[in-house]
Structure 1
Amino acid sequence: MSEYDKVRVGRLVLKGEKLKTKKRKHKKQGRDEEGTTVRDEDASAHGGWWKTVRIEEITGSIGIEFGNQTYVKALDNGLFTLGAPHSEGEGPAPEEILTAIKVNDTKIALKSGYGKYLRVGPDGVVTGRSDAVGAMEQWEPVFQDGKLALLGCNGCFMSVAQDDDSVVAVSKTAGKDEIMQIRSSTARENENVKELPAEEQGSLAQVEENYVRKFQKFQDKKLRINTQSRSGLQKAREEGNLHEILLDRRSKMKSDRYCK
């Protein structure tokens, strides 16, 4: 290496000028102190298996729960029964896990751990003996008023027989015996979504005050919050234009650094 190459090349420093050292920025580990994590207590009580609330969520590994902590269980003869109750914090057993496959926008197919698809027989008994998905192997999840029932190809809803705990589809209406929960273990879409910033946590009144503190500047350092009705803020939050409405409310106070 030549003597010239040994010379360190850098910016020109004038006489009397102080060098400024660069500060290293360290990424915060974990969440901010002001951040909050919402815990799904219901999912925790079921071993992390969370309750589906729309058909788009019924895919991959699922468990059909009737009552509390009891799931539909596949037998090696192609029939189904209601499994034994689980303790709190436990999910479904391997033989109680089914695979949900989307057929179209309204219907799904269900496959047991034995690799067979579920269908309803002429006697209304649910069996898992089909090798492929046809019209008889399609099920329609029906959500209404926060409740779920599963409609079979025969126009009847899945339930558990009271006498022998076998799984059947014999009722044309969805009563309390036909109400179920379909639980999933797949990662939810909103699990990877960033949580709300600190300014947007709390009530709408708190949110507006947080943004006033962040953006409005006064020489006397006193907060000036718009006193007009906040009736439109909830609608703005739902429609995704909350920031615009808050900016408009602050602009009327003529103190926002982003307002003219």
Structure 2
Amino acid sequence: MSDYDNIRIKKLVLKGEKHKKSKKRKKEKDEAGSSSKKSKVQVDEDAVEHGGWWVAKTAADITGTVSIEFSDRCYLKALDNGLFTLGAPHNAGEGPDPEEIFTAFPINDRKVSFKSGYGKYLKIEKDGMVTGRSEAVGSMEQWEPVFEDKRMALLSETGHFMSIDPEDDACVALRKKVGQYEICKVRSNATRDVVVDTEPKEEKGDLGEVERNYVKKFQKFQDKKMRINQNDVKELENAKAQGSLHETLLDRRSKMKADRYCK
């Protein structure tokens, strides 16, 4: 465990590439971004159940710190002998252990490589075993995430999918078809930018529906009959183009003497 924690994660190293000393660069803080308006974060219940680690839906999501989950709350675990096994189940709300955390490096828009906490890359061997003993990335250290029907599997260079051997929980890549043991999830704990829909629910749909929505919201309903202005909707289209849609809607409701805010 102590050996694992002492490993220093370095950048992606390709085979044949010369090692160069990199200079430390100070990261500039984006003050404008930090002071910008914060958006509301949508709760990902699945991520909460897994300690904040969310499921990658595309290959582009698989970068940086990740874990590989083969069954619910059971993650691929690196051993100090360069092999991998399936870790013990975690309780709800817990994330992966340090030995179950990897660093993912995009190779291109389809393939990625994974480095264990021991600083070695995951590779498929000739006998189908998956090992973590490579110092650099070649073709055998590259994996392609394949998505289908909201499920995912990791395809090796040999055309075999990464899986967990049900007999000894070892990580292998022996099958060219995806079965229950090949299905996995790559999870990330990176911060996500969530786009929040700020459009009021009353303004969903066309302008006719928008007017009905606001009538429902503000009408007094004394006789339980909805009163909608029968003038051409073209008036609303012109008002929207001029930026006076809400004023025009209020004026149309006031003519029907049905709005609670109109005299």
SS at match of 1:175: coil
Report the alpha carbon displacement of residue 105 of structure 1 after superposing the two structures with TM: 1.3
Q: Is the 8 A contact 1:212 1:250 kept in 2?
A: no
Structure 1 segment 28-67 matched on structure 2, within 5 A: 37-67=41-71
- Asked if 1:79 is matched to 2:83, the reply is yes
How far 1:204 moved relative to its partner? 3.9
Q: Aligned residue for 1:159?
A: 163
Runs of 4+ in 1 over 3 A off after TM superposition: 200-208, 210-214, 222-226, 252-255, 257-260
In structure 2, the CA distance between the partners of 1:204 and 1:68, relative to structure 1 (3 Å rule), is: farther
Structure whose CA Rg is larger: 1
Partner of residue 135 from structure 2, selected from 131, 134, 138: 131
Give the secondary-structure state (helix, strand or coil) at the position aligned to 2:146.
Answer: strand
Summarize deviations over 1:81-117 as a string: whole Å, max 9, x none. 0000000001111000011000011110110000000
CA separation of 1:252 and 1:93: change in aligned 2, threshold 3 A = same
What residue in structure 1 maps to residue 101 of structure 2?
Answer: 97
1:258 is aligned to 241
TM-score scaled by length of structure 1: 0.67
In structure 2, how many angstroms separate the alpha carbons of the residues matched to 1:30 and 1:54? 25
Gaps of 5+ in 2: 1-36, 216-226, 245-263
Does 1:196 pair with 2:197? yes
| CA distance in 1 between partners of 2:151 and 2:202 (Å) | 29
The one-letter code of the counterpart of 1:73 is K
The change in CA–CA distance for 1:204 and 1:60 in structure 2 (over 3 A counts) is same
| 2:119 equivalent in structure 1 | 115
- Where relative contact order (Cα < 8 A, 6+ residues apart) is larger, the structure is 2
Query: For the residues of structure 1 that align with 2:135 and 2:82, how far apart are their CA atoms?
Result: 12
Q: What's the counterpart of residue 184 of structure 1?
A: 188
Paired residue secondary structure (1:118)? strand
User: What is the identity, as a one-letter code, of the residue corresponding to 2:79?
Assistant: L
- Residue type of the alignment partner of 1:175: G
- Partners of 1:187 and 1:225 in 2: CA distance: 50
Task: Report the Cα distance in structure 2 between the residues aligned to 1:212 and 1:225, rounded to whole angstroms.
Answer: 15
Alignment partner, residue 150 of structure 2: 146
Query: CA RMSD, aligned part only?
Result: 3.3
Q: Is the 8 A contact 2:76 2:100 kept in 1?
A: yes
Secondary structure of the corresponding residue to residue 197 of structure 2? coil
What pairs up with 1:228-239 in 2 under 5 angstroms? none
- State the shift of 1:200 in Å: 4.8
Segments of structure 1 that go 5 or more residues without pairing to the other structure are 1-28, 215-221, 227-248
* Distance change >3 Å, CA 208–CA 106, structure 1 → 2: same
2:200 partner SS: helix
TM-score after normalising by structure 2: 0.66
Deviation of the 1:50 alpha carbon? 0.2
Within 2, Cα distance between the matches of 1:94 and 1:118?
16
Distance of 2:117 and 2:56 partners within structure 1: 20
Count, aligned residues: 197
Q: For residues 159-209 of structure 1, what are the alpha-carbon distances to aligned partners after superposition, in whole Å with 9 as ceiling and x for unaligned?
A: 100111000000010112111110001112x33x4x222425796479942
In structure 1, what is the equivalent of residue 210 of structure 2? 209
Name the structure 2 match of 1:11: none
